[in-house]
Amino acid sequence: MQIGLDGGEYSWVLNLVFFAFIMIMSLYGQKIQMWQWLKQIEAGLIELKRMAIESRQSAIDTFKEHGTEEEEVAKEIDRWLDYFTIMPVDLDPAGILKRLDHLLDQRRDRFQEFVTDLTPDASNSERMNLENTLEVTQVLSLIFRIVRHFYLLGKKTGSTIMVMQVQMIMPELLRLAKAYSDAMDAFSQGKPIGDGIGPLVVTKLAREYDATPETYVHEVTKEVGYYPIEVEGRTVYAMRATGPGGTVGKPGFAVKKIVEDNKGKIARIITVDAALKLEGEEMGRVSEGTGAAIGDPGPEKHAIEQAATDNQIGIEAIVVKEDEAAAVGVLDKRVLDSLPEVIDRIKIAIRKRTKPGDKIILVGIGNTIGIGL
Amino acid sequence: MGIISKILGVVLTASGALILTHAMDPNVGSLSFVLFVVGLLVMSVGFGLLTAGKQKKEVKASLPTVTEIRCNGCDFKEIRDYEKGDYILKPLEMKCPKCSGKMTIEGVYVVREEPDKDRF
Ligand SMILES: [Zn+2]
């Protein structure tokens, strides 16, 4: 074989091809790259659209079981898919958490009103599950609409940076959308999800100390209550949101309220929650730390931290590691199997870091869907 | 579409390879560049056809959710398919077949397959 050098009568062909290649690539390389990115986004968009449509349909199917015609349900859900909440202005940060909390309350009330209007025959806990179903549908619809926006805009303006950014975060968006899409089944049927491990731990522990659904004190704050239990001479307020309907309630404010009601008597606050695991970490791994383990937009966590700081109360967190798919999807066996260890660690915390006679708040944070009292 | 394009892919890849080997033959002389380029082209098209559509994974059926029921009195345990209305810690009407005590749902879960262990 001989390439290029002295060349035969046909070597000009190779040279021509070579130069044509260089010219095309330097002149149109960017365009070709853009075209490739747009194609990749398009493939992702098709997938996102499919998930959005499927979740909308399964929301409609679930809603129509409770006494409203399918057409009416579809119309109302479409009206609700792009419901938005405007975050409070942060130019004047004073009192921003109060304002945010107010907005979140308002939003929740509108959601409840919407679901109640559409499901005259449903029970309370079914309605809570339907609210969750609606939220998942909204998330999937939102992801699809945003990606579509950037895709179309990028195509229209030919802006490389816009297209490039979407193409780069596409795998992450697809992963997130897939987690939510898989979760639809859990929410629409009321199955427990991985995020519910916090409340489950609390109830399991409380039952070891003779708590029953009847001893649960309801509505300390909206949809949150506690089991009053005695653990080795300490009084423990074992707090969680009410189940088995899907709700996270307002546990932060419940902690604040109990602290205020027992001025100076609370010795420790222990929060239990699910946490996102790092890739490579074991699913269901239990780990502990300092602080309030609660993933709300801000007001709840602030309430716990403020109450702890004002009264100099020790605060610690125990979390169970899960990935997104497990946290919003049906409870994973490995997460459920972490229960004994979490309960053990709580007992150790109580034994080592409090004295007999102390009062302790144990709070399980998470969505109580499918987890009974 | 699937099988035809696969066969075409195999044929093209093979003929590309043939052309390439032919181009290596010193007797071909000056035409060897052209043959070389053509062989590479044909082969890459063949490979493209062979590997096309491979990234499409078959859609996995969603994992079955199971309900784990335990007796409050003894160590009897039963695992059955999830039924609508099941929730964790739900007290059940059914009696334990061993000691006819009361039974409770102790778990509602899926068993996800463990991903392949990474080296780290
Ligand atoms: Zn039994």
Contacts of B56 in chain A (CB under 8 A): none
CA of B103 to the centre of ligand 1 (A): 8
pLDDT number for residue A312: 92
Bridge partner list, A229: A236
Domain A194-364 of CATH type 3.30.450: no
Contacts of A9 in chain B (CB under 8 A): 30
From the list A201, A348, A341, A328, the residue with the least C-alpha distance to A285 is A341
Higher pLDDT, A6 or B32: B32
Distance CA A208, CA A365 (A): 19
**Residue A44 pLDDT class (50, 70, 90 cuts):** very high
Does residue A70 register a pLDDT over 80? yes
* Domain locations along chain B: 3-51, 65-110
| Residue A207 identity (one-letter amino acid) | R
Q: Inspect the interface and report whether the beta carbons of B87 and A192 lie closer than 8 Å.
A: yes
Closest chain B residue to the Cα of A371, Cα to Cα: B88
Closest chain A residue to the Cα of B25, Cα to Cα: A1
Does residue A344 register a pLDDT over 90? yes
Instruction: Tell me the mean pLDDT in the region A53-63.
Output: 91
**Residue B59 pLDDT class (50, 70, 90 cuts):** low
Residue length, chain B?
Answer: 120
Higher pLDDT, A14 or B87: B87
Does residue A68 register a pLDDT over 50? yes
* Domain locations along chain A: 27-189, 194-364
Bridge partner list, A324: none
Among A219-223, A353-357, B54-58, the least confident range? B54-58
pLDDT number for residue B24: 80
Q: Inspect the interface and report whether the beta carbons of A330 and B65 lie closer than 8 Å.
A: yes
**Residue B61 pLDDT class (50, 70, 90 cuts):** low
Higher pLDDT, A320 or A90: A320
Higher pLDDT, A7 or A24: A24
Which member of A8, A10, A333 has the closest CB to residue B109? A333
Distance CA B65, CA A333 (A): 10
Does residue A2 register a pLDDT over 50? no
**DSSP structure string for A262-321:** TTTTEEEEEEEEEEEPPTTSPTT-EEEEES----SSSHHHHHHHHHHHHTT-EEEEEEEE
Portion of chain A with pLDDT greater than 90, in percent = 57
| Predicted ipTM of the assembly | 0.79
Instruction: Tell me the mean pLDDT in the region A154-161.
Output: 89
What is the model's pTM? 0.82
